[in-house]
Structures are given as structure tokens and as C-alpha cells.
Amino acid sequence: MTERRETGRRTSRPGARRPGQSPRRPTKTTPKFGTEAEGERIAKYLARAGVASRRACETLIEEGKVTIDGRKVKTPAEKVTGREDIRVGGLQIAAPERARVWRYHKPAGLITTNSDPAGRRTVFDELPKALPRTVTIGRLDLNTEGLLLLTNDGGLARALELPGNDMVRTYRARAFGKVDPAKLERLAAGITVEGERFGKIEAVLEQETGANSWLRVSLTEGKKREVRRALEAVGLQVNRLIRVSYGPFELGELRPGAVEEIPAASLQELLPEDMLSKARRVPEKRRPSGRGAAGSRLGKPRR
């Protein structure tokens, strides 16, 4: 911002008052590029860079192990832009990657978690080895197949999961039982199952095949086993469930087990600008994370 100037003769000292002049009220100015007001808190920056959890990064700062341009950081609230020389224990920290999103066609029989005490295969066991550290956007249960979104940005994942963002999840469900208008109306009005209230669920009959029917089911919530439980509550036993879309993202012709990154330009077109710009300021949800979660993005030690 350019300096504000008054017309007429300047006083001998910048900001001095002439006799009888009322004191000026402080004016708010936009912080200049590179000032302390710009950037992101160092603890969050380190967490996004894969060093450790945000709480652990705060501990590293308290222990005096974090430096910015050679000086020790005294508070986790200090802001950085990523252009600084940031180090932890003398090791340089690589800047976090831009937010990236992948489509994954999850096969049935995999659980959406990082590891399983029972030894069952997880989605992360099946992902390509070259894929960077990722977290899932929402979950699919063991026997549900179809579209599962992955991202390297926990804040973006949380933003896409929030119920207030009205991200419509659409499934194709094969269910045993007779489909009639009364059952579909009950779902559309919202239904309570075992004391838990589900919001509006839009279900459309697509095809009847003997004792089974195929329905297209859409909802904006992501509660545990919601589609299965809601359909069971109206007398429809789900025996196959495929998620075909999540918000603007579609499964399309992606084959089971395949992973495909969504181009950055497409993300800009498909997601609201405010969601992308604020994604990394949304508190990250504690969740199992994917391949490489235990590693860090430390660079070379200081020489």
C-alpha cells in the first residue's frame, strides 16, 4: 500500500500535528507481502510437511529444535510463508506439496484404514507404491465398492467431509425385497434407525431383477453404514453397494483397483474457490493415514 499523503506543507516530523489539530485515529493498513501477518502458523506448516502431528510439532518448538532462517522459534503461532529456511533438529524441511486429489476404485473386501488388528487387507495395502502419503476423504465399509477419494491434504479432506458443504454421495444399491413408493417416501422424509436420525435420502428404482432391485441412492451425510441401515429399516436387504460419485467427482469407467489423479485444473473447476483457499485452515481430523504417514519430509542436515 502506498503511503498516505496530506496536501500542503509537510510538518518537520512525519505524523506530527499542527497546533489545534485533533489527534489522528490509527488507520488499518493491509499487511505488506512478507510481514508477520502473512503466511501460516509454523506448527501447522510442519505438520502439513509431514514432520509430525501438529501437537508433536508444537513440542519440538518448545524444545528449541525448530529454527527459521537460523533463529530458534519461540512460539508455534509464528507464521511462515515457505520461502524461509525452516529446519528441525538441523534438518531442512521441504515445503508441503500443493493439494492433490486422486480417484480410487475400491474393490469389495478391503477396509478403509491404515492397518487392521485382525490382519485384513486395507486400501493402503493395495495402493501403488509410488503414491505419496495420502488420507481418505470419507470411508467405504468392507463390502462397499466404488469411488473413494484420496488426498495429500488433511484440511481439504475435512472440508469435503463437512455436512454443511452438501457434498452429495451417490450409490447404486442392489437390494433384496419389494420396492414400493411408500418405502421411498419414508427415506425421502428422513428416517430414524436405532435412535440415530438420518436426513433426507433420495432413492430411485432403476431396475427389478427377480427378487432383487437396483436403486440409485443419494444423500449428503456420511454416517457409518447409512445406506445399508436406512434401506434395511424399510425392508430392503442390501447385497451389493457401489459408490458412483462424491460431490462433483465421478467413478466413471475407472476399473476396480485403479487410481487416477484429478488434474489441478479440474480441481479448480470442480471445487468452490473458497473451499480450496480455506482447505488448509480447516482443523485436521484425527484419522488413520496412508502410506508414508510415519515418515517425514526432512531434507539435508545443516553443514
60: domain CATH number is: 3.10.290.10
Specify whether 183 is located in the same domain as 208: yes
Is residue 186, in this structure, part of any structural domain at all? yes
Q: Which residue has the cell 510481514?
A: 35
Range(s) of the domain holding residue 189 = 101-272
Specify whether 114 is located in the same domain as 162: yes
Write down which residue in 96, 126, 160 finishes a domain: 96
Specify whether 72 is located in the same domain as 118: no
Band of residue 290 on the pLDDT scale cut at 50, 70, 90:
very low
Specify whether 257 is located in the same domain as 218: yes
Residue 120 has pLDDT above 50, yes or no: yes
Q: Which residue has the cell 489545534?
A: 20
Write down which residue in 96, 130, 164 finishes a domain: 96
pLDDT of the residue at 277: 65
Specify whether 78 is located in the same domain as 144: no
Structure pTM?
0.68
What pLDDT digit, counting tens, does each position of 268-281 carry? 899 887 777 655 54
**Under 8 Å CB-to-CB from 175, ≥6 apart: which residues?**
212, 213, 215, 231, 236, 237, 238, 239
pLDDT of the residue at 115: 82
C-alpha cell at 92: 531442512
Higher pLDDT pick, 59 / 96: 59
pLDDT of the residue at 295: 35
pLDDT of the residue at 40: 85
Specify whether 174 is located in the same domain as 63: no
164: which DSSP letter?
A: G
Residue 169 has pLDDT above 90, yes or no: yes
Q: Is 141 a catalytic residue?
A: yes
Lowest mean pLDDT, pick from 16-25, 111-120, 143-152: 16-25
- How many structural domains compose the chain? 2
Q: Using an 8 Å Cβ cutoff, are 48 and 54 in contact? A: no
Residue 83 CB neighbour total at 10 angstroms: 10
pLDDT of the residue at 13: 37
Is residue 24, in this structure, part of any structural domain at all? no
Specify whether 60 is located in the same domain as 203: no
Specify whether 107 is located in the same domain as 81: no
Specify whether 111 is located in the same domain as 224: yes
Specify whether 124 is located in the same domain as 174: yes
Greatest pairwise CA separation for the chain in angstroms: 95
Specify whether 140 is located in the same domain as 225: yes
Residues above pLDDT 70, as percent of the chain:
79
Specify whether 151 is located in the same domain as 70: no
Higher pLDDT pick, 292 / 100: 100
238: domain CATH number is: 3.30.2350.10
Q: Using an 8 Å Cβ cutoff, are 125 and 133 in contact? A: no
Active-site residue, from 85, 141, 153, 274: 141
CA separation for the pair 25, 27 (Å, rounded): 6
Q: Identity (one letter) of the amino acid at 12? A: S
What pLDDT digit, counting tens, does each position of 11-37 carry? 333 334 444 444 444 333 333 333 334
